Amino acid sequence: MRSDANQGELALDAPMHVLLACRSEDQAVQICLALAERRLGRDQQTVALLCGWKSDSCLSEIANPRHSRKMPASRRDRFALATGCNLHTQFIAYATAKAASNPTERDAAHIAAAACMAEWGMAA
């Protein structure tokens, strides 16, 4: 992202509970598009143009769960700026990290328990 951008131009990170509730990349795109419309008044066509597409058909396919089309990595930063939200980028990073570590359910429970204990100020 540009370092000389105004604060209002920067994309905001989604809250953790929204990121964790997001089930797929297309759902993250749909949420970002909804935020762009509500927060910035930008419809899907405007977001597509700001991302560099000539029409919004590619973006429609990316947001549709029935299509397997994914957002190109080269357009992710533009999409975040156009929608004002980093949720899509956050979801990709989270899914990649989760796939790389792939802890068992027991390991995930121990990690969550340790995080709770740390938050509560107790020794794990």
Complete DSSP assignment for 43-63: -HHHHHHHHT-SSSHHHHHHH
For the segment 67-80, the average pLDDT, to the nearest whole number, is 93
Asked whether residue 74 carries a pLDDT value surpassing 70, the answer given is yes
> In degrees, to the nearest 5, what angle opens at C-alpha 101 toward C-alphas 29 and 77?
30
2 inside domain: no
30 inside domain: yes
Question: What pLDDT is stored for residue 89 in this prediction?
Answer: 95
Question: What pLDDT is stored for residue 37 in this prediction?
Answer: 96
Phi, psi of 48 (to 5 degrees): -60, -45
For the segment 60-70, the average pLDDT, to the nearest whole number, is 92
76 inside domain: yes
| Total number of domains constituting the chain | 1
Cβ-based neighbour number of residue 11 at 10 Å: 21
1 inside domain: no
Q: Please write the tens of the pLDDT for every residue from 82-124.
A: 999 999 999 999 998 888 877 778 888 888 888 888 889 876 5
Question: What pLDDT is stored for residue 3 in this prediction?
Answer: 47
Q: Please write the tens of the pLDDT for every residue from 30-62.
A: 999 999 999 999 999 999 999 999 999 999 999
12 inside domain: yes
Cα separation, 121 vs 6, in Å, equals 38
**Residue 2's pLDDT band (boundaries 50, 70, 90)?**
very low
**How would you label 54-87 residue by residue, b for 16+ Cβ within 10 Å and e otherwise?**
eebebbbebbeeeeeeebeeebeebbbbbbbbbb
23 inside domain: yes
Domain ranges, residue 23: 7-119
Copy the structure tokens of residue 97. 């990290």
